[in-house]
Structure 1
Amino acid sequence: MLKKDFLRDIAIFIVVVIFLLIVIPVISSLLKQLLLLQAVIAIGGAIFLRILINRIKGKK
């Protein structure tokens, strides 16, 4: 059960990283004038990744 949860967390982490690397730059290029939105998305993504990393580290 623990291994299944760990693998699920790894999969979520990979999806979030791909989202941050591919989807957000595309949105940002379409919305260059909305710098505030870009900053909020970047900060929110960083906070989410940090929480996810801490959660994965805690399960080891």
Structure 2
Amino acid sequence: MPWTHYVRLMRRTRSAEERAFYETEALWGGWSVRQLERQDAREGKIHRSRLESVAAVK
């Protein structure tokens, strides 16, 4: 993954788990940095709620 993706993820994600989620999605989806930004804007709340659900189960 290009360095710009990592910089973007380090600046905009709240946790290591959230960063890992978007890292994996970007790699599998072949996302550009702009696509990564759009996905984060759309899915950020959804992903955070998934993390909270998983944490509540543990």
For the aligned pair, the TM-score class normalised by the smaller chain equals: 0.3 to 0.5
Larger radius of gyration: 1
TM-score, length basis structure 2 = 0.40
More helix by share: 1
TM-score, length basis structure 1 = 0.39
